[in-house]
Chains A and B, each alone.
Chain A
Amino acid sequence: MCSNIVESAPVLLGTSQSLFGMRTMPQDCVTSVGVVILNAGLLHHVGPFRLHVEIANQLAELGFASLRLDQSGKGESPRRPGRSRNESLLLDYDDVRSHFAGLGIDKTVLIGLCSGADDALFIASQRDSIAGLILLDGYASKNAGYRLRYYANRIFRIGPWLRAIRRFASARVYAPEINFRDWESGTDMLRRFADVLDGGTRVLSVFTAGQNYYNHLGQLESELPASCNTAHLEEVYFRKVDHTYNVTYHRLRLLETIAAWVRQNFSD
């Protein structure tokens, strides 16, 4: 166990020294695992309600170095001109990897919330050095169990019926529900997930009540191909927690969950 002395410093990565990150290091521990915390949507490296700072500080107390990254085009980092989004993702990760290599860190764990989780999964599917993923409201597909619970939760309540009647009676045309996540087909996403797990990456996937596609523990694993090795997949469901952990108590629960998982999977 390390002391509570933690050092945070801004770093500028890449050949152009323009990719911004905040590095947090334990002062008196040596670690071979570096954790990269990706942007949550358009929010910068501090994270929603300072979540990323709290995660980084806790990881440092456990002996792990971390980098709260502003990916190209987000936060303090400029865009990479002429590069697609996926190209930028991988180039950003490669710059972080080089930085960690200079510190003697050879294993990486990625953490992402929402679109950050999607980015983390994509990077892990394209790079071999990812030892672990912590996905906060990452991908899951709606299955029969989801739909059963979704409608069962509403069929015996008057509110949803009244809303449905109002919609039917109204002359307004309601736009279809917008999916703000840039997901490929369900088959492709599940295949990507399976490939990452089969490649040995350990995954902690935490879901909250703040999304509209997951509503029971085990939903993600149940949709993965039967041949997929799910021994290193841990699924957690916080039924009464907001998507961005906007309550201090809920952030503390998340920190405990992350700490336990990291200790279990990556302590020397």
Chain B
Amino acid sequence: MEPFYFGDNKELFGIYHAAEGMPKKHAVVVAAPLLNEYMRAHFALRRISLTLAQSGFDVLRFDYTGMGNSKGSLENTLPDRWVDDISDAVQEISDISGNTTVSIIAVRFAAHLAASVTHQRNIEQLVMWDPILEGRLWLQSLRRARPMGTTNFSEYLLVKEREFMGHLTCPSFVTNIGSRPRIPIRTKKNYAVITETRQIQGPPTDVAQRVDLVSFYCGWEDLSSQVLYPHEVIDSICAAIS
């Protein structure tokens, strides 16, 4: 495991898992979900990365601008920046590994962001976990997000209109996200593992070429700190990449 900062201004934090044994055909970028979902999915995404590296894939996990260990604050970050972050991560893993063919694992709204990247770069495969492919659907989800139990401190929100899941976003966040339409995925292969169908319009088979419906409650809209460890999702994603 190699932690480091990358990008033009060394502002993005990433962790590189080098392939063990014979490298496979492509490298993998892990595009985590955003806001509170990032924290909850970290454990599972790390496990996926370790498993893929043991199977011979070069893997790069990273934190988006304004999140995790990356520089900046959410309040000063336009969502457009996150598309560039994924694109930068694809370039970085190509440079590190020598693999010019890259697949992306994307969770929740990162699937929409990654779909944009498939129009900028040659992406082998997009593997998605509970994908949200349209901005307004994510906004609806964020507005539904509520604390577990009876504690609700919404009266203390600094700027109610743009504080979501405990994070204060930039002034144009709502407009920016809300105006993002569904973008066609331009990859040879794409796959989705779905635990919740609330953010899908139409049948699940419209989401990707192959879809795996898994019975596991992620509770993405519960404003909780509960770490997710969905074995079935992890196995499904690793199998799809392999």
Complex CA–CA separation, A22 to B157 (angstroms): 29
Complex CA–CA separation, A245 to B168 (angstroms): 13
Please indicate which of the listed interface residues B5, B63, B69, B156 has the most CB atoms of chain A within 10 Å of its own CB: B69
Decide yes or no whether A133 CB sits under 8 A from chain B: no
A8: chain B residues at CB < 8 Å are 69
Say whether B147 contacts A246, CB under 8 Å. Answer: yes
Decide yes or no whether A249 CB sits under 8 A from chain B: yes
Decide yes or no whether A244 CB sits under 8 A from chain B: yes
Say whether B158 contacts A248, CB under 8 Å. Answer: yes
> How many interface residues does chain B have, given as a range?
20 to 34
Nearest chain B CB to A117 CB, angstrom units: 15
Which of A42, A43, A240, A247 has a CB less than 8 Å from the CB of B166?
A247
Decide yes or no whether B1 CB sits under 8 A from chain A: yes
Nearest chain B CB to A176 CB, angstrom units: 18
Closest residue of B by beta carbon distance from A57: B73
Decide yes or no whether A79 CB sits under 8 A from chain B: no
Instruction: Knowing A20-B3, A76-B1, A244-B225, say if A250 contacts B153 (CB, 8 Å).
Output: yes
Say whether A42 contacts B153, CB under 8 Å. Answer: no
Decide yes or no whether B216 CB sits under 8 A from chain A: no
Complex CA–CA separation, A22 to B67 (angstroms): 14
Which of A76, A240, A244, A245 has a CB less than 8 Å from the CB of B15?
A76
Decide yes or no whether B96 CB sits under 8 A from chain A: no
Which of B5, B43, B68 has a CB less than 8 Å from the CB of A46?
B68
**A-binding residues in B (CB < 8 A):** 1, 3-5, 13, 15, 36, 39, 42-43, 46, 63, 67-69, 147, 151, 153, 156-158, 163, 165-168, 223, 225, 227
